Amino acid sequence: MLKSTIKDWEEADYGVRKALPQDAVQVIEVMKNAEDSGWMLFEPNERIIVEATCRTFISKLNKGKKTGCFVAVKNEVVYRYVIVKNERPKRIQHRGYIVIGIDEASRGKGVGTLLFQEVIRWAEKAGLHKLELTVITSNEHAVRLYENMGFTVEGVRKDSLYIDHHYVDEYYMGYIVS
């Protein structure tokens, strides 16, 4: 693995892999932790995710040629996930939409870089031409990570989300895989 990208995880067992159905409980925990940060689409405690549904979702994503659920794991604990979704219309089958969730304990430690590097390698092999994501414009840490990974701002979605009685903008970002 790309050990040089990890700051204080050097001595730990870590890696990136496709999620397994048995990771569902931990993926749900990361989803909840990420939503508690206030930077996600869903507000804290807005949705209830059931383990069986998550297991099915992971299995279904990982069966697709251009879809997948990836996790960053340290000592068998899931700390981050990236979901890559792909749509059916032929005109957009060349692109994958990314959703990322990060547990607070792994923020700022280089794990996001490791995870994105693996997802980009996978996207190349899967035949995706482009990866896309959205991010709240004021989420500077996430924007910096995405820019460092080669994503560029392609537009601004004005008043895209309504958070704490205010409308906020999102960047629409893209990365050309090949």
List the single range of 36-45, 90-99, 139-148, 156-165 with lowest mean pLDDT.
36-45
Residue 114 CB contacts under 8 Å (≥ 6 apart), including other chains:
1, 2, 5, 6, 14, 16, 72
**In what helix (H) or strand (E) does residue 44 lie, and over which residues does it extend?**
none
What confidence score (pLDDT) does residue 11 get? 44
Instruction: Note the pTM of the prediction, 2 decimals.
Output: 0.88
- 62-108 tens-digit pLDDT: 999 999 999 999 888 999 999 999 988 999 999 999 999 988 877 88
What confidence score (pLDDT) does residue 1 get? 31
Given a cut of 90, whether residue 117 has pLDDT beyond it is yes
- The mean of the pLDDT values for the chain is 90
What confidence score (pLDDT) does residue 140 get? 94
Highest CATH level, class, for 13-176: alpha beta
High-pLDDT (> 90) share of the chain, %: 77
- 23-33 tens-digit pLDDT: 999 999 999 99
Given a cut of 90, whether residue 4 has pLDDT beyond it is no
Q: Where are the alpha helices (DSSP H) in the chain?
A: 24-36, 51-63, 111-126, 140-148
Name the residue ranges covered by the structural domains of the chain.
13-176
